[in-house]
Amino acid sequence: MSFSPAHASETAAAPTSRMVLFRRREIKYVVDRTTRTALTRDLQAFMRPDAYAGKTGGYIVRSLYFDTESYMAYHEKLAGAATRHKLRIRAYGEDPRQAAFTRLEVKSRFLSFIHKITVDVPAAQFVDLEPALIGRELPPDYILNNSEVSKEFFRIQRQYNMVPKIMLQYRREAFERLEIKRVRANFDDQLQATRTLNLLEPLVAPRNLLKYGNSVFEIKIDGEMPFWLHKLISKYNLQDQAFSKFTNAIRSEARFSTFNRARTVG
């Protein structure tokens, strides 16, 4: 039985969509295994495990990212464009084919703040959703009109002529704390990328994006960073590395393609 980190108790009769709005800061670090072990112990003193962590303490996240033929989103990210948009669709669980839903996301950056809107589409509807994602066409009306998020996702996709470009998968261990504003911290491990873009099928020829033993440590804050979290960052001398899963995945594909061309010519 697979696990999904949201709507865990929903059945097939659940509503067809869900909209969530975030406006937050995100800070990322790459940490080694020793730092992660100690940092996890300290986080557990201040935070609780994510409500959807399950028995294993974590869950699998798979993301299909979109970009233009000229990789506009990739280059805007590298250039640090003040305003930019990212489209992706996600599935959760050990076996994505058993996922209860797929999640459309529009993630936008305005200066230093993240603005994200999402809508969940039941897995049974993916057969109608996938051709529209690949063919840059509008989905059936019952999907398009189920949420303003769906309309915004396909508006941006068609405006910029975006198509699926890269797929990533990783295992996430997350913690959260509810204060005046929500604070989340998570470790992402086993980060892999592939150009085989079948969201709900097994990964094909995935490439590792992190050195063995390393993790991406990510802090997400709706507001100002609490003092105790400042102290933890200082304690472990963490340096913000602005690690982007998306851009590292695209780079890995470029390196892989160059290697293959060189080997073929040789």
- Give the model's pLDDT for residue 263: 44
Please report where in the chains the tokens 């390196």 appear, as a residue.
Answer: 255
- Give the model's pLDDT for residue 15: 36
Q: What are the extents of the domains in the chain? A: 19-265
- Give the model's pLDDT for residue 66: 96
- Give the model's pLDDT for residue 13: 34
Helical axes 33-46 vs 227-235, angle rounded to 10°: 160
- Give the model's pLDDT for residue 180: 61
**Cα–Cα dist 59/80, whole Å:** 30
- pLDDT tens-digit profile, the chain (266 residues): 344 454 443 333 333 455 555 667 889 999 999 999 999 999 999 999 887 776 777 899 999 999 999 999 999 999 988 889 999 999 998 898 899 999 999 988 887 778 888 999 999 999 999 999 998 889 999 999 988 999 999 999 999 999 999 999 999 999 998 776 789 999 999 999 999 999 999 999 999 999 999 999 999 988 788 899 999 999 999 988 778 899 999 998 876 554 343 343 34
- Give the model's pLDDT for residue 127: 93
- Give the model's pLDDT for residue 8: 40
Give me the architecture of the 19-265 domain, per CATH: Alpha-Beta Barrel (3.20)
